[in-house]
Amino acid sequence: MAIKLDDYFGALQAANDDPTSVTSRELLVAESEATTRRFRDLYGRIDEQNQTVNTRIRELTEEINTQSKNIAELNDRIRIAQAGGKESFELLDQRDQAIKDLSELIDIQVIDQATGESTVFTANGQPLVVGQSANMMVATPGKLDGSQLEVSLLIAGRENNITNIVSGGELGGVLEYRKEILNKSLDELGRVALVFADTMNSQHALGMDLDGNMGQKLFRDINDSVLMNSRFQSEFTQGSVRITDTSLLQASDYDLVFTSETDFRLTRLSDGKTWTQSAFDTTPASASDVNGEMQLWFDPAAGDMALQIDGMRINADKNSPFSINERFLMQPTRTAADDVRVDISNGRQLALASPVSIAQDPDNLGTGSALVRVSEVVPAQTSPLDALGNLLPDGDHSIEVIKTATGYDVNLLDAGGTPVLPSDLTVTADPANPNQLIIRNNDANLPGEIRVDVSGVPQDGDSFTINYNFDVDSVTGDISNIGVSDNRNGILLADLTKQKTSLEGTYQETYGRLVERVGITTKIAQMDAKASQAVLQNTINQREEISGVNLDEEAVKLIQFQQAYQRPRS
């Protein structure tokens, strides 16, 4: 994946070097396709492992059932033999072997009874064998995530889900592998895909393509309705998960359970952090007002809820009261690597140019220079004239930025260079970067924003003029003389590879941490396996010392006796 990301940005740089080259643009589209295909291939390989795990879980539960039934039957035979005063050494050895075999499949506790029977529990106290009865294990698709098998123990005809409390043995190892390696790898790979697609789409939308249109989504919309709905899992409630800020997104699933009809607990499964509704700001008056982190709107009687956390917004709509123990599973990143697609069809649609340009007045006295870029547009507008709202109403207008003693002023100029009054334009300096000017329109219904980066030392009275990066026919409104050789938005797209786009860092750093974590977890698992093997061998030795019988030694002696018996006959 790291190599494929490098290939993608290499193709982007080649397109920036010659933005008029259709060949370079088509190469970038091809590399975009290859990058998304690589995401899907990696997802597919990990998901294949998930299917293998499912198969092994089913096999292991059957093996555990076989050993449990064997122990229960031996319990009965030993009980009958001892009650009748008969020796049962062979049966005891067989049961010891069955218990040993079972302990290799799952961690167990064994309690010997006065009747000669052995009661077997899981390490967490769930009864596997009681007397002559064995409780059966079943592997069934998860109620919320049907792609993964869960393990339950049938006790008195009732299924008790023990997936999260199984430990040790091969079954515990397989479940731990799925939880710590497979699921986390899918979540983290999905986050890389989401961050990559979202940041590329956001910047691409601020540029202009070869035909003078604003950039459309370069990759599939991360919040199309199908994807939002697929991230929310529930038995009884409709819901969705909208990604609102990929820079805050965690590579994790979330579990929400109602502890009463009016109270819930939300758990981030990657680290176990929990929240209740008291942790959220509950001032929003409706679901649509939830637009900030840690905000909640909750109507338990109507079965409606909207909450925002970790860069996502969770919506639940049941249309009836929530129930105690009702559960939701949110998977914001789980399948994202498999969902990513290229959303443009040809290189002409690549928005490498900026829709605006800036020029300094030739009579300026200072040494200041400026670069301009679009930082916000009216959504879903194809024409730059519409995308910038009222910032630049048409091709006959321009924006003048003037240096003053206290900062900068901004004017909207008509075709003759006369200020249009009154003007709704405002200019402010970015608090984080005083040399970056933010130009906006006060009309909240028409969002649009331009940012100007000023360098050097402009003097008071120096001015810069912002125009469209094309000509507009004053009668027909047709666009011509498009700045096709401009690559300023392409450069901003390329710069994203250096930006901290997620909580983990850049694209490459985030993916690198995924690879690093898998390596560390694998090493720890290998060390744990060696330690567990040593404990197992020590336990076997102790048991054999108590019984005075070593089954391996007895097997060797038996072979020797058989050979000795056969020699005289030959």
Note the pLDDT tens digit of each residue in 135-192: 999 999 999 999 999 999 999 889 999 999 999 899 999 999 999 999 999 999 999 9
Domain boundary among the residues 436, 457, 481 is at 481
Measured from the Cβ of residue 379, the count of other Cβ atoms closer than 10 Å reads 8
Q: In this structure, are 469 and 495 located in the same domain?
A: no
Residue 247 lies in a domain: no
Q: In this structure, are 405 and 495 located in the same domain?
A: no
Q: In this structure, are 453 and 403 located in the same domain?
A: yes
Q: In this structure, are 444 and 521 located in the same domain?
A: no
Q: In this structure, are 207 and 88 located in the same domain?
A: yes
Beta strands, E only, 229-344:
232-234, 238-243, 254-258, 264-268, 273-276, 295-299, 304-309, 312-317, 327-330
Q: In angstroms, what CA-CA distances link 349 with 77, 255, 301, 411, 423?
A: 79, 41, 49, 33, 34
Q: In this structure, are 522 and 469 located in the same domain?
A: no
Count of H helices and E strands in the chain?
11, 26
Residue 254 lies in a domain: no
What is the side-by-side strand order in the sheet with 137-141? 137-141, 149-155, 158-161
Q: In this structure, are 19 and 127 located in the same domain?
A: yes
Secondary structure (DSSP) of 215-249: P--SB--TT-HHHHHHTEEESS-EEEEEE--GGG-
- pLDDT at residue number 380: 81
- pLDDT at residue number 155: 92
- Give the closest residue to 460 by CA, choosing from 410, 406, 403: 403
Residue 308 lies in a domain: no
Q: In this structure, are 537 and 399 located in the same domain?
A: no
Kindly report the pTM of this predicted structure.
Answer: 0.86
**Beta pairing, strands 118-122 & 108-112:** antiparallel
Domain boundary among the residues 434, 453, 481 is at 481
Cis check: omega of the bond before 422, within 30 degrees of 0: yes
Q: In angstroms, what CA-CA distances link 31 with 3, 12, 23, 38, 173?
A: 12, 9, 12, 10, 39
| Domain ranges, residue 471 | 354-481
- pLDDT at residue number 536: 56
Measured from the Cβ of residue 192, the count of other Cβ atoms closer than 10 Å reads 27
Domain boundary among the residues 446, 463, 481 is at 481
For the chain, the domain total comes to 2
Q: In this structure, are 433 and 499 located in the same domain?
A: no
Measured from the Cβ of residue 128, the count of other Cβ atoms closer than 10 Å reads 26
Residue 471 lies in a domain: yes
User: Per-residue pLDDT for the chain (570 aa), expressed as one digit of tens each?
Assistant: 888 999 999 999 999 999 999 999 999 999 999 999 999 999 999 999 999 999 999 999 999 999 999 999 999 999 998 888 887 889 999 999 999 999 999 999 999 998 889 999 999 999 999 999 999 999 999 999 999 999 999 998 899 999 999 998 999 999 999 999 999 999 999 999 999 999 999 999 999 999 999 999 999 999 999 999 999 999 889 999 999 999 999 999 999 999 998 899 999 999 999 999 999 999 999 999 999 999 999 999 888 999 999 999 999 998 889 999 999 999 999 999 999 999 999 999 999 999 999 999 999 999 999 999 998 888 888 888 888 877 887 778 889 999 999 999 999 998 888 998 878 888 999 888 888 999 988 776 677 889 999 999 999 999 999 988 887 666 666 767 777 789 999 999 999 999 999 988 888 888 888 777 776 666 555 655 565 566 556 655 655 665 555 556 555 555 555 555 555 444
Taking the C-alpha atoms of residue 188 and residue 36, their distance in angstroms, rounded to an integer, is 16
Residue 97 lies in a domain: yes
- pLDDT at residue number 62: 97
- pLDDT at residue number 34: 97
Q: In this structure, are 469 and 569 located in the same domain?
A: no
Q: In this structure, are 469 and 545 located in the same domain?
A: no
Burial of 46 (0-12, 13-18, 19+ CB in 10 A): middle
SS3 state of residue 517: helix
Residue 260 lies in a domain: no
Residue 199 lies in a domain: yes
Q: In this structure, are 556 and 477 located in the same domain?
A: no
- pLDDT at residue number 569: 47
- Alpha helix stretches (DSSP H) within 243-353: 336-339
- Give the closest residue to 359 by CA, choosing from 282, 468, 513: 468
Residue 154 lies in a domain: yes
Token representation of residue 131:
């007397």
- pLDDT at residue number 469: 87
Taking the C-alpha atoms of residue 501 and residue 511, their distance in angstroms, rounded to an integer, is 12
